[in-house]
Amino acid sequence: MDNLKLIIGYMTLKELKRVEAIIKRMIKTKEDQHKLIKKLLL
């Protein structure tokens, strides 16, 4: 989770909200969201 905190730290709130909205539109289930987030952080 340290990587996630680091990424959030470098993003503005507006950028974070935009990315979150895109991910929610693309990924319907939370399980798939977690898989996508893990891929992005690797």
Instruction: Give the tokens for residue 31.
Output: 């399980």
Does residue 1 surpass a pLDDT of 70?
Answer: no
Does residue 38 surpass a pLDDT of 80?
Answer: yes
- pLDDT, position 23: 76
Structural domains counted in the chain = 1
- Which residue segment(s) compose the domain that 33 sits in? 2-41
- pLDDT, position 18: 87
Assign 28 a pLDDT band (cuts: 50, 70, 90).
Answer: low
User: How large a percentage of the chain has pLDDT more than 90?
Assistant: 0
Amino acid (1-letter code) at residue 38: K
Alpha carbon distance 12, 42 (integer Å): 21
How confident is the prediction for the chain on average, in pLDDT? 76
Alpha carbon distance 42, 29 (integer Å): 21
